[in-house]
Structures are given as structure tokens and as C-alpha cells.
């Protein structure tokens, strides 16, 4: 169980695509991303409490089982590999060209992410809930939906107790030890 505190915070992680390209426009890529998030969670041994996938970025709230840097490396690394593999396998050459960069010493040909990590520490349950609401309302602010529940690619249904039969990504809400409730 995770009691949220200064000694055991949550991480509010934001990953933005290179040049804010709207990489996550199709449901196929959002499914790839949800599967990659689940793979990262399982490989890294951390928990997810909330998420949203937007056209050019994503937000994730995780526990602090690993450092924020390690958690972001798992998330961004696995999503980046899976998305680029998907684009290659589906023959999306124009999309790949937009992600292409000069070869570096690690010999990457493509990069999905802007490499300026954005992490906030959430030290209290109040801070967690503020970020959960912000995350779930992001699609409304962006004009993608009128109601947060209508955005399939977020954790709002997990929080509302109305998960879909084929929910794209389940949360680890049972791992939070609430002080107030």
C-alpha cells in the first residue's frame, strides 16, 4: 500500500512529442501506447494512478517505487520503441520522416520524445487529487470532448468505478492507502 507523503510522493509525469507532433491521433497508436504503458509498469515494478493520452503528449501519475527519472525512462523508452516499430511495420514513412534525426553516438534514427522531462512531486492526497482532476479534464480543455468520461484514453472511468469491458489501461487505485475518505 502507498501512503502519499513527503517521504513517499507520487510523480506527475508529462511526456511531450518532438515538435509537439500529433503522434497519438489514431486509435491504433493509442492502443500501442496503452499496451506500452502497461509493459513499462510491469517491467519497472511501479504503479499507475492516473493517465491521459492527448494528440501530442501524455500525463501519467505514478507511485515512487523508482526514481522519477527511472520511471520516465521506462515509460518513454518502451512507448518510443513500440510506436516507432508500429509506424515502421505499418509503412508510415511520412510520419517516420518527421521523427527522424541525425544519428548520434547511440545511433538512434528516430526520436518520439522531446527530451526535456517534466516531473512534479505530489506530496499530499490533495495534490494528487488536483492533478488527477487536471489530467482527466485535459481533453475538455483541448476541445476533444465535452465530458471527460467521453475520452476513451484516460483513467477517468477507473476513478468513477465505470470501467469499460475493454478498458485500454487499468489503474492501481487499490494500492493507495487513503488517510481521508
At 137 the pLDDT is 98
Domains assigned to the chain: 10-175 (3.30.70.1290)
At 8 the pLDDT is 92
- Mean pLDDT for all residues in the chain: 93
Residue 142 has pLDDT above 90, yes or no: yes
Rounded to whole angstroms, the Cα distance separating 79 from 116 reads: 16
At 104 the pLDDT is 61
- pLDDT tens digits for 46-88? 999 999 999 999 999 999 999 999 999 999 999 999 999 999 9
- Whole-model pTM: value is 0.93
At 108 the pLDDT is 62
Distances (CA, A) of 111 to 21, 86, 108, 131: 11, 14, 7, 28
Amino acid at each position: 500500500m502507498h501512503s502519499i507523503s513527503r517521504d513517499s510522493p507520487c510523480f506527475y509525469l508529462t511526456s511531450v512529442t518532438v515538435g509537439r507532433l500529433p503522434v497519438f491521433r489514431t486509435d491504433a497508436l493509442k492502443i500501442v501506447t496503452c499496451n506500452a504503458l502497461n509493459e513499462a509498469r510491469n517491467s519497472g515494478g511501479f504503479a499507475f494512478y492516473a493517465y491521459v493520452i492527448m494528440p501530442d503528449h501524455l500525463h501519467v501519475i505514478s507511485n515512487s517505487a523508482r526514481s522519477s527519472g527511472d520511471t520516465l525512462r521506462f515509460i518513454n523508452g518502451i512507448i518510443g520503441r513500440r510506436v516507432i516499430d508500429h509506424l515502421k511495420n505499418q509503412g508510415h514513412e511520412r510520419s517516420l520522416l518527421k521523427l527522424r534525426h541525425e544519428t548520434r553516438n547511440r545511433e538512434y534514427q528516430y526520436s518520439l520524445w522531446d527530451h526535456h522531462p517534466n516531473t512534479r512531486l505530489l506530496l499530499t492526497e490533495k495534490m494528487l487529487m488536483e492533478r488527477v482532476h487536471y489530467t482527466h479534464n485535459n481533453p475538455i480543455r483541448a476541445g476533444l470532448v465535452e465530458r471527460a468520461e467521453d475520452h476513451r484514453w484516460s483513467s477517468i472511468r477507473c476513478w468513477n468505478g465505470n470501467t469499460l469491458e475493454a478498458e485500454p489501461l487499468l489503474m492501481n487505485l487499490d494500492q493507495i492507502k487513503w488517510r481521508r475518505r
